[in-house]
Structure 1
Amino acid sequence: MSLKGIFPIDRWDFNSQKILADLSDKDWDNLMAHARKEKYKKGQIVFREGAQPTSIFYIHTGTVKKYKIDNDGKEHIVYVASAGELIGYHAALADEVYPDAAAALEDSVVDVIPVADFLSTLDRSPAFSRKLLKTLSHEFAVYINNLSVFAQRPVRERVAIALIVLREKYKQGVKPGAPVMISISRDDIANMAGTTRENVARFLTEFKQEKIIDTIGRKILITNVRKLAEVSNYS
């Protein structure tokens, strides 16, 4: 089922896939001239917060979480990127260290692109520059939305929103209308929703009883996204 009309997913999705849309063959070849394809196992670090940016990353397959660690050592997931998205380019543009870290949520294949090739493509392609600027503006709005919602919403609603966002990330390759399977730990859901693992487990049990989700082992099957959107109380 499409989320159109029941949940504003664009307020939660960077849409960075659009950055490379319609890139000319010449610009694409320039961008990928020295890229290397890397396989990341579930949990493996893609880049570390505070490291100097030597590369940006194009997700070929899989999902990758962007996160920060607070002073108490608690992880906060700020975004989940999926196939077709670029990550790590903010630091390259600002000529600063990576402001957050990234790690694979599942086995993933990522194109590692040298920063120099990214910047040279940006310099030579006005269309690429315009799309990047538009995407950066949208990402700022997504971050503001994220902060405001998770500062004010009850935990049950935050967990529902996290599941809807994850459904969007895991639905690639799933037939339209078919249930979407999410393979992610309860800890990661808690770190997305800003709550505890125990709260996530409790609400997942409630959602299962309400026939919104089902579970197969540790995997979560979203069976009624419309009802989940109602629980999120977000319009």
Structure 2
Amino acid sequence: MPDFFNTETQFNYDFLDAKECLNILTNEEKQQLINNKTDVEFDAGETIIKRGIAVSNILYLNEGLVKLEIINEGKPSTIALVESHSFIGIICCFAFKNFDFTATALEKTKVSFIKKNVFEDFIKLNGDFALNLIKHMSGVSNGLFHKITTLSQKNIDGALSMLLLDFARVYKSDNYILPMVRKDLANMLGYSKESVINTLSKFNKEGIIKVADRKIKILDKDKLTQISKIG
């Protein structure tokens, strides 16, 4: 079976993750899913989903990192980062006929496009899968709500600290390359590009991080964590 049916993964959240959700499918259903999916690779910066296109597939992110953007009052706003072994925008796929967001690869990414009608058949015929999917979608919605609410209550220092720590968790390293430019960081945090640049510079001068273009090295993780909590 493909990797997304493998249960040997470390869950980053308390709620049911996408891989565990798929594992409740029967062996026959797993094979049916395999027969009705298409794997596509995207390079960094490529659009995976364009806002407004019809929802004909459920998307599962096998490898890589993806950002989701919506348009608010004519301006793009990054609402989430999607990590490997996750559905892309699952909470919107059954609510609208067309995607209400844009999904963009932040690094080399591999996505499985699963036919929506096949997925819907699993929901109708497999009650355990349907229940797990509801639990998963509820967890995703709750996590997204809390993340957006928390960020909205943070000043630029606190918000940027949270994001830098999130990337360290995603890459499992305190030394990584930011997958987005300063403007994209600003869109995600709800602050100006200048505010992001100035805060990165301040953190660099204070010895909390080392910044070299998009290269980030966290030097004082305890201090950065403290700022993320009180900022």
In 1, the alpha carbon distance for the partners of 2:86 and 2:57 equals 14
**Partner SS state of residue 106, structure 1:** coil
In 2, the alpha carbon distance for the partners of 1:91 and 1:223 equals 39
CA pair 16-219 structure 1, distance change in 2 beyond 3 A? farther
CA pair 209-98 structure 1, distance change in 2 beyond 3 A? same
- In the TM superposition, 1:131-170 aligns within 5 A as 131-170=132-171
CA pair 28-211 structure 1, distance change in 2 beyond 3 A? farther
> 1:5-45 deviations in whole A, cap 9, x for unaligned?
xxxx749x994444224544333222232211111121111
In 2, the alpha carbon distance for the partners of 1:186 and 1:109 equals 25
- In the TM superposition, 1:39-54 aligns within 5 A as 39-54=41-56
Identity percentage of aligned residues: 23
CA pair 114-222 structure 1, distance change in 2 beyond 3 A? farther
In terms of mean alpha carbon deviation, does 155-164 or 179-188 score higher?
A: 179-188
Counterpart pick for 1:207 among 203, 208, 229: 203
CA contact (8 A) 1:212 1:222 kept: yes
CA pair 28-208 structure 1, distance change in 2 beyond 3 A? farther
CA pair 128-222 structure 1, distance change in 2 beyond 3 A? farther
1:102 CA drift (Å)? 0.6
TM-score by length of 1: 0.81
**Partner SS state of residue 103, structure 1:** strand
**Partner SS state of residue 233, structure 1:** helix
* Structure 1, unpaired ranges of 5+: 1-8, 172-177
Answer 1 or 2: higher relative contact order, Cα 8 Å, separation at least 6.
1
> Residue in 1 aligned with 2:193?
197
TM-score by length of 2: 0.83
Counterpart pick for 1:59 among 31, 44, 61: 61
1:169 CA drift (Å)? 2.5
- In the TM superposition, 1:24-173 aligns within 5 A as 24-72=26-74, 74-171=75-172
> Residue in 2 aligned with 1:5?
none
In 2, the alpha carbon distance for the partners of 1:45 and 1:149 equals 28
1:209 CA drift (Å)? 2.7
CA pair 231-32 structure 1, distance change in 2 beyond 3 A? same
Which aligned segments of 4 or more residues in structure 1 are displaced greater than 4 angstroms? none
CA contact (8 A) 2:16 2:132 kept: no
- Report how many aligned residue pairs link the two structures: 219
1:128 CA drift (Å)? 1.8
* Structure 2, unpaired ranges of 5+: 1-11
Letter in 2 for 1:196: S
Letter in 1 for 2:34: M
CA pair 166-133 structure 1, distance change in 2 beyond 3 A? same
> Residue in 1 aligned with 2:5?
none
CA pair 21-197 structure 1, distance change in 2 beyond 3 A? farther
Letter in 1 for 2:216: I
In terms of mean alpha carbon deviation, does 54-63 or 15-24 score higher?
A: 15-24
